[in-house]
A and B are shown apart, each in its own frame.
Chain A
Amino acid sequence: MRYLPLTPDDRQQMLGVIGAKSIDDLFVDVPKAARIDDAFNLPAHQGELEVERALSAMAAKNTSAGSVPFFVGCGAYKHHVPASVDHLIQRSEFLTSYTPYQPEISQGTLQYLFEFQTQVALLTDMDVANASMYDGSTACSEAVQMAHRVTRRKKAVLSGALHPHYRAVIETTSKFAGDTVVALDADPSGTEDIASLIDSETSCVVVQYPDFFGRVHDLADIAAAAHEAGALMIVAIPEIISMGALRAPGAMGADIVVAEGQSIGNPLNFGGPYVGLFATRQKYVRQMPGRLAGETVDVDGKRGYVLTLSTREQHIRREKATSNICTNSGLCCLAFTIHLTLLGEQGFTRLAALNHESAVKLADALDTVPGAEIVTSAFFNEFTLKTSKPGAEVIEALADKGVLGGVPVSRLMPGNKAVDNLIIVAATEINTDADRAQYAAALKEVLS
């Protein structure tokens, strides 16, 4: 069917039927103060070529991630995504059926969801994972809600080394659910004592791994303290590639593990869409949000896939559902599954090693710069750099020299003087020796 816009005559005729003089008459109920009476200051319509030219000129003002040495992380990481991933996810069998409304006839979709869940459970060392959430931060907030259901308590304790965006999502959800959030102050020194805040009202502690400042630390003691008080430990992983090198949270007593899955198969995408990972213990599976694909056999004994435990979900449980997730991040989840399958266990471990190696080389290079100090002793592919000048100024000056050098902590924790001179720096397999040398040279000039 062609789209045929209305003619002025059509509009006049319709207005006549309802007794209005002009389209503006339909908006008289909007208070005058909230209305814009002047015409928008926009140029007249242009042809495709002119629009392309104008937008390209605007886009060229950005320093894009792929155009300069790039060391920005803090929850979103630039990794190499093989062209084969993009090719495979765009096959129409996957692309057009990303959210099956009659799931059992979409066996291919259910199979990849099942494989995705299996991968997430293996990466996190947990019993069961769902078919994905929207992103790491919303998954983390859902985990807090789930812990409240499991423990029938309403207080979450958040580490001061939890990403401020994750904290903000938890606080927003909790505010409207009437739940309590106790968030520790920013913890750049890694000395917070979160276990001392756990009491008999506490439903869960939320810690990040590696944490916001890049630190890798053992979580077993926190898990033990939480379990002692009848609370759960939730672990948030913003950089899932780290699981190729580090001990998984499941092996340290985590009850719920959430992660941002963007790093595998998905480009930066200006901040989204991403894919949230969510895994838990078998005994909590009925309190888990989201969809779950299961493997079974049909009447002839052949392997098949089904959506399982659907009674937790919105279409059956209505307002009592365990979450309002009704479509997951299907295509991003597919990209994750395909990329991880292509990598395989060995490839994934090797990729993690490359990331760590890249970050160690960078830390070694930056640590020799006068006025710069690496404050993170144990890290994966991201660490905290302390500079003799305020971090925000340093990052701006580096950008002028053609290096995107990281995230000044003051941008995410504004008003906190303790973090003013701190920068979170990430390095991945995309960075070359030349990139690292250019960063160190530029930093030397900026700090001199």
Chain B
Amino acid sequence: MADMKFTKDHEWVRVEGDTATVGITDYAQEQLGDVVYVELPDVGKTLAAGDEAAVVESVKAASEVYAPVSGDVVEVNGALADAPAGVNDDAMGAGWFVKLKLANASELDDLMSEDDYKTYLAELD
């Protein structure tokens, strides 16, 4: 997980080449509870860092998933439409939301490392 970066809104991003895969953290899925619905963007949509990328809805809350970095949407995790519980099962892996074509790699520097994120979570509790 060393190649992962995190936001204060509990999104993660993993970069391979110029593709950035985005999801929500294990902490986020635990807070949400059973995820019942995921709304994903259209492929081709251009997102700036901080834009709403997706919506995740659980039995008790609905919240936005923001793009941690800028880029065009190149792929969405269609499997979540039929099986939204995939977010609970494997938030940091198979439960990813969108893949972006990275527009500006330097934006990654503004995000937290895994250790920073763990410290951040410890402060929240």
Contacts and interface: CB of A to CB of B under 8 A. Distances in A.
Interface of A: 152, 286, 311-312, 316-317, 320
B73 to A, nearest CB: 12
B62 A316 contact: yes
A162 to B, nearest CB: 29
A320 B62 contact: yes
Contacts of A317: 62
Nearest to B55: A320
Given A311-B57, A317-B62, 7 more contacts: A286-B37, A286-B39, A286-B57, A311-B60, A311-B62, A312-B62, A320-B62
A150 B15 CA distance: 31
Contacts of A320: 55, 62, 64
Decide if the interface of chain A is mainly helix, strand, loop or mixed: helix
Contacts of A152: 42
A168 B45 CA distance: 33
Decide if the interface of chain B is mainly helix, strand, loop or mixed: strand
Q: How large is the interface on B (under 10, 10 to 19, 20 to 34, 35 or more residues)?
A: 10 to 19
B85 to A, nearest CB: 16
Contacts, number: 17
Nearest to A286: B37
A312 B62 CA distance: 8
B39 to A, nearest CB: 8
A406 to B, nearest CB: 47
Interface in B51-99: 55, 57-58, 60-62, 64
Contacts of B64: 320
Contacts of B39: 286
A446 B61 CA distance: 64
B72 to A, nearest CB: 16
Nearest 10 A/B pairs, CB to CB: A311-B62, A311-B57, A317-B62, A286-B37, A316-B62, A316-B61, A152-B42, A311-B61, A320-B64, A320-B62
17 contacts: A152-B42, A286-B37, A286-B39, A286-B57, A311-B37, A311-B57, A311-B58, A311-B60, A311-B61, A311-B62, A312-B62, A316-B61, A316-B62, A317-B62, A320-B55, A320-B62, A320-B64
A215 to B, nearest CB: 38
A286 B62 CA distance: 12
Contacts of B62: 311-312, 316-317, 320
Most buried by A among B39, B42, B57: B57
Nearest to B42: A152
Nearest to B58: A311
Interface in B10-44: 37, 39, 42
A312 B39 CA distance: 12
Contacts of A286: 37, 39, 57
A308 to B, nearest CB: 10
B54 to A, nearest CB: 12
Contacts of B58: 311
